[in-house]
Amino acid sequence: MMGIGFPELMIILVIIMIIFGAGKLPEIGSAFGNSIRNFKKSMKDAEQENEELPEGSNAENAITEGDAEGQPAEGTNPAENPVASTTEPEQK
């Protein structure tokens, strides 16, 4: 009994036309369509990115280097490693 039928949908559309006017409806529809298209594209890109990761790894391991304590990996320059710059400052 709580479904939206044809009469309710027509009332909603009339209210939208009163609020925005008939001239703005194509712009609103176009913006809504572009939003859906961009969302689908970003989901597809994220899915492809996950498929490119090696087996048994996750996104966190692919992004960061070093051990679990946030120390830079061996042979890396701490000044070039963004993970190292977020660690606690050295104490003197």
Instruction: For CA atoms 66, 72, 74, 76, give the dihedral sign.
Output: positive
Q: What's the structural domain count of the chain?
A: 1
Mean pLDDT of the chain: 74
Burial class (CB in 10 A: 0-12, 13-18, 19+), 87: middle
Pick 25 or 80 by higher pLDDT: 25
pTM of this prediction? 0.42
Q: What is the pLDDT of residues 38-73, one digit of tens each?
A: 999 999 999 988 888 766 555 555 555 555 555 555
39 domain residue, yes or no? yes
77 domain residue, yes or no? no
12 domain residue, yes or no? no
33 domain residue, yes or no? yes
**Residue ranges making up the domain that contains 32:** 24-48
30 domain residue, yes or no? yes
